[in-house]
């Protein structure tokens, strides 16, 4: 069965993408803010954020924007060595110590939390399972009733940071003695497929996943309460050779937009807009689910966002920019 947003809604979004996103050249002739460069990180949510920011800067503020393909560490390194690009967005702070050093030195300024909830990591069960068996909302309930979650924990692939943490936690919770088997997935694709397959069939599922992602935008999952976050314990759990292993929940990762000190001085209006540009994980997950279900590009997803979230992005703009985009806001 087609999703309710498919067909005519997608055709509208594609048309909007073509009409609006390609029309940038017509407004750049009256550019107000000059040339600006912004990262386009190589994952779905970051690409959508970049395209939204690019569109608003070009159409609302008259900038000439260049999107620079990058990743977390290369982007931070480029900032350190070259002082560019001007803007880095969806920067996961916990993965970029270089960025934190640059911020301390005053070379880069964090202007906003682009994912307002932060990056989230959880052990999860489907909502339908939590509603049928509320005791499964805590790890104690899960381990007392392993058969209710299928007796299996779906783990991250080898080489992922979460694999090390999950392996530490399974030791701390004594999975083997509690009758909980662990399935170590060979790839992120198989981990995702296991969750999707179980959800579509309304079968038990228990394992690790993170947000924002298309999967958690599509499927309603409930976190299993592991206990309070303990910084020292979590740091130890991240290291394979650290002991003893302890019990700690996952911390939320701060995910930000940063600008160079030069851009902050040169373009205060852009910095003000970027400080407000922020998505909840629910919003981003919904967008990514639409993107995946419709096999859409980041530009098409940007158009879908512009059409369906007008009240959200209108609040990011100053009066002049809202005036320039009044035709879209009708």
> C-alpha distances in angstroms, 211 versus 36, 42, 61, 126?
29, 16, 31, 15
* 67, 127: one domain: no
Say what the pTM is: 0.76
242-280 confidence digits (pLDDT tens): 999 999 999 988 999 999 999 999 999 999 999 999 999
141-156 confidence digits (pLDDT tens): 999 999 999 999 999 9
* 34, 141: one domain: no
What is the span of the domain harbouring residue 219?
120-237
Number of structural domains found in the chain: 2
Predicted confidence (pLDDT) at residue 22 exceeds the cutoff of 80: no
Torsion of CA 123, 242, 247, 142, to 10 degrees: 50
Q: Is residue 244 part of a domain?
A: no
Longest Cα–Cα distance of the chain, Å, equals: 69
Q: Is residue 158 part of a domain?
A: yes
Give the separation between CA 39 and CA 45, rounded to whole angstroms. Answer: 12
Give the separation between CA 136 and CA 221, rounded to whole angstroms. Answer: 12
* 109, 28: one domain: yes
173-218 confidence digits (pLDDT tens): 999 999 999 999 999 889 999 999 999 999 999 999 998 998 998 9
């Amino acid at each position: 069965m087609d999703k309710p947003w498919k067909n005519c809604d997608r055709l509208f979004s594609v048309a909007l993408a073509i009409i609006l996103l390609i029309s940038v050249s017509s407004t750049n002739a009256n550019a107000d803010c000059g040339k600006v460069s912004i990262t386009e990180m190589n994952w779905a949510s970051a690409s959508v954020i970049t395209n939204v920011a690019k569109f608003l800067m070009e159409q609302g503020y008259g900038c000439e924007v260049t999107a620079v393909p990058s990743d977390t560490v290369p982007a931070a390194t480029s900032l350190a060595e070259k002082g560019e690009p001007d803007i880095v967005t969806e920067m996961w702070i916990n993965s970029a110590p270089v960025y934190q050093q640059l911020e301390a030195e005053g070379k880069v300024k964090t202007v906003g939390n682009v994912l307002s909830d932060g990056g989230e990591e959880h052990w999860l069960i489907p909502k339908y399972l939590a509603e049928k068996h509320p005791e499964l909302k805590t790890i104690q309930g899960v381990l007392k009733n392993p058969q209710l979650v299928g007796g299996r924990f779906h783990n991250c692939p080898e080489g992922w940071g979460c694999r090390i943490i999950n392996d530490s936690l399974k030791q701390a919770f004594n999975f083997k003695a509690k009758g909980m088997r662990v399935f170590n997935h060979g790839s992120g694709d198989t981990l995702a497929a296991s969750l999707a397959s179980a959800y579509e069939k309304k079968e038990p599922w228990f394992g690790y996943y993170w947000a924002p992602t298309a999967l958690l935008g599509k499927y309603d999952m409930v976190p299993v309460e592991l206990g309070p976050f303990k910084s020292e314990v979590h740091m130890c759990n991240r290291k394979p050779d650290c002991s003893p292993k302890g019990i700690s929940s996952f911390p939320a990762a701060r995910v930000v937009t940063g600008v160079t000190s030069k851009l902050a001085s040169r373009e205060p209006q852009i910095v003000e807009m970027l400080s407000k540009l922020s998505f909840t994980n629910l919003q981003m997950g919904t967008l990514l689910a639409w993107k995946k279900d419709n096999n859409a590009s980041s530009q098409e997803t940007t158009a879908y966002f512009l059409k369906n979230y007008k009240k959200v992005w209108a609040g990011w703009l100053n009066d002049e920019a809202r005036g320039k985009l009044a035709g879209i806001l009708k």
